[in-house]
Amino acid sequence: MKLFLDKGEQVKIEGRIDSTVFNCTLSGTRLNEDHSRHYQELRSFWIEGQRLQDAMAGKSRAEQEALYERFRQVMARRRACEMDYIDANPDNPLAGYCLTKIPIDSVLTYHERLADAARNSIFRPLLEPLLAKAGKYRLIRLAEAKIVAGSPAPDFTLKTADDKNFTLSSLRGKYVVLDFWGSWCGWCIKGIPKMKRYYDRYKSKLEIVGIDCNDTPERWLAAVEEHRLPWINVYNPKDVPAAEDISVEYAVSGYPTKVIIGPDGLIIGKYAGEGPDFYEALHKTIQ
């Protein structure tokens, strides 16, 4: 149960543990009283969700998957309840808080429906990074249509570890793998040894460009040195506008993501995650 306090405010909370959810009411401020009533609307979803999660213990994989699907449906109904609240109460500051609980692909649409009282409430510091994230998500979805096999790979220029400019088109005539990764990404790091083996095998025809994302320059450089990355390494600044972000231009929504580009500069394939599909495609393409 959350409650919201501004300087000098007092809120009273009364309740009891009911099933797995705290059954309580808030009083003292209009915002918390509105939140308390909305909380009662949501309790049934949380109770049902917890019941389904508890029921998974000791079940077979098939039974767990069926229970998880039901859990997903319950959470979808909960998010729909948040969206209904925004539609019904566009001028209530609590609607701004509800915006943080809905799917990211709906945030911009529902934010446009909010009145100023909800947009500029005490929740504004929560909304500003959320809106930036939603805007980035929208641009990624738009970019997906361009990052497909047979399309030209967007050119870009980024800084290398020795602070020189690297431009993708300088590798025209070679096969290229763009590896979108980060020092914080466990699967990215786990895949480095296998990437090195394939690089050693095909480096006469292939160049890999490691594009570090969502990192500080210091952590990026430390990771390049620690893991002895033998290919071209460039840094994609995390503080650039989404419209200038190379990971957005390549529709990267998860890490690692790898893009294979042919000698003619056309995209051959895009592969999310550290799975065998990328390596199979790379071997088939270059052998």
pLDDT in tens, 188-214: 999 999 999 999 999 999 999 999 999
How much is the pLDDT for 60? 95
Confidence of residue 23 (pLDDT cuts 50, 70, 90): confident
65: pLDDT strictly greater than 70: yes
Confidence of residue 8 (pLDDT cuts 50, 70, 90): very high
182: pLDDT strictly greater than 90: yes
- Better pLDDT: 246 or 21: 246
Q: Omega into 256 within 30° of 0, i.e. cis?
A: yes
Kindly state the helix (H) or strand (E) to which residue 38 belongs, with its residue range: helix 30-55
How much is the pLDDT for 19? 66
Q: Where are the beta strands (DSSP E) in 123-185?
A: 157-160, 165-167, 175-181
Cβ pair 77, 18 in contact under 8 A = no
**Per-residue b or e along 25-35, where b marks 16 or more CB atoms closer than 10 Å to that residue's CB:** ebeebebbebb
Q: Tell me the residue type at 64.
A: Q
Q: What would the mean pLDDT of 6-29 be, rounded to a whole number?
A: 87
Confidence of residue 219 (pLDDT cuts 50, 70, 90): very high
152: how many CB neighbours lie within 10 A of its CB? 11
What percentage of the chain exceeds 70 in pLDDT?
99
151: pLDDT strictly greater than 70: yes
